[in-house]
Amino acid sequence: MTNREAVSRLLSTLRVKKDSRIPPRYILRILRSINTMLISQKLLERTIQNDYNLYSSVECFELERIRNVDCSIASFKRCNILMKSKKKLPKLIYSRLGSSIKSVTSIDDGIGFTLVDEAQYRRNKNRKYADESEVYVFQDEKGYVYIPDKEILALNLEFITLETDMLEELSCETKKQCLNAWDSEFIVPDKLVEAVFKEATQMVAGVYAAVIEDSNPNGIDKQPTQ
């Protein structure tokens, strides 16, 4: 299902008055908001981790070496080598367990990486017998990815995002092309489809009550046939 099809599906459930128009971007924003909330809940419950259709992948996500003194992350200022992604990741879905990044690997899949937050990185580096071969990956609040202590120029990643229209431009192997956000995939778990559209329909109808056609304008309930 594309973003265009998702919006069309919701609109088809509403009786919109003639000459009235609900902005499609508003509908998509509501669908994504509710979808994000429900996915986040299910991630916390650990009930959709194995739903592989949810995950998007980016191959050859490039990084470049930066000066550690230019980094705003205190724990990385003493690193001899510090790599930062050239581009930001799209907006990811989070739960109290962290971000929805499922895996980070080298472009030949030969190296596995450990995704950490800043506190975990400090603890791991301060361990008496720290594993010097371990490669840490950190994502900041803006969506940039960092690798401290190792010179890694590109990564493969898997994660959950609803901004699927941004994926193609993230890979170093992608040729520039005109992308249509409306034809990008609308990511939603099969088990949540009905709940997402039900809640979104109720929210849109509540906000746009004035332009939703009354299916019973006289306020008289139809009587059951005898």
List, for residues 188-203, the tens digit of each pLDDT value. 998 899 999 999 999 9
User: Which domain covers residue 116, as residue numbers?
Assistant: 52-181
Cα separation values, 24 from 90, 130, 183, 201, 203, Å = 21, 52, 13, 13, 14
Same domain, yes or no: 88 and 173: yes
Answer whether 95's CB lies under 8 Å from 44's CB.
yes
174 or 114, which is more confident: 114
Q: Which residues of 104-119 are buried (b: 16+ CB within 10 A; e: fewer)?
A: beebeeeeebebbeee
Percentage above 70 pLDDT, the chain: 86
Count of domains observed in the chain: 2
Whether 218 is in a domain gets the answer no
Q: Residue 174: beta bridge partners?
A: none
Same domain, yes or no: 196 and 145: no
Whether 141 is in a domain gets the answer yes
> Span 96-118, mean pLDDT?
85
Residue with token string 């003639």: 18
pLDDT at 177 over 70: no
pLDDT on residue 175: 55
pLDDT band, residue 53 (cuts 50/70/90) = confident
CA quadruple 87, 89, 90, 96: dihedral, nearest 10: -150
> Span 128-134, mean pLDDT?
72
pLDDT on residue 224: 41
Whether 29 is in a domain gets the answer yes
Q: What is the pLDDT of residues 8-27, one digit of tens each?
A: 999 988 876 665 688 999 99
Same domain, yes or no: 195 and 172: no
Same domain, yes or no: 77 and 159: yes
CA quadruple 135, 94, 185, 15: dihedral, nearest 10: 180
Percentage above 90 pLDDT, the chain: 42
Cα separation values, 173 from 60, 62, 180, 225, Å = 7, 10, 19, 66
Whether 87 is in a domain gets the answer yes
Do strands 136-139 and 114-115 pair parallel, antiparallel, or not at all (unpaired)?
Answer: parallel
Same domain, yes or no: 35 and 122: no
Same domain, yes or no: 24 and 3: yes
Q: What is the pLDDT of residues 57-70, one digit of tens each?
A: 999 999 999 988 87
Same domain, yes or no: 59 and 41: no
Same domain, yes or no: 88 and 145: yes
pLDDT, the chain, mean: 84
218 or 208, which is more confident: 208
> Span 72-81, mean pLDDT?
84
Q: Is the pTM of this model over 0.85?
A: no
**Exposed / middle / buried, residue 172 (Cβ in 10 Å: 0-12, 13-18, 19+):** middle
- Cα separation, 35 vs 190, in Å, equals 11
Whether 222 is in a domain gets the answer no
pLDDT on residue 176: 53
Same domain, yes or no: 33 and 120: no
Whether 221 is in a domain gets the answer no
pLDDT on residue 130: 64
Of the ranges 11-20, 40-49, 213-222, which one carries the lowest mean pLDDT score?
213-222
Same domain, yes or no: 39 and 92: no
Whether 157 is in a domain gets the answer yes
Whether 226 is in a domain gets the answer no
Q: Between the ranges 49-53, 150-154, 212-216, where is the mean pLDDT highest?
A: 150-154
Same domain, yes or no: 81 and 130: yes
Same domain, yes or no: 39 and 98: no
Cα separation values, 203 from 50, 113, 195, Å = 30, 41, 12
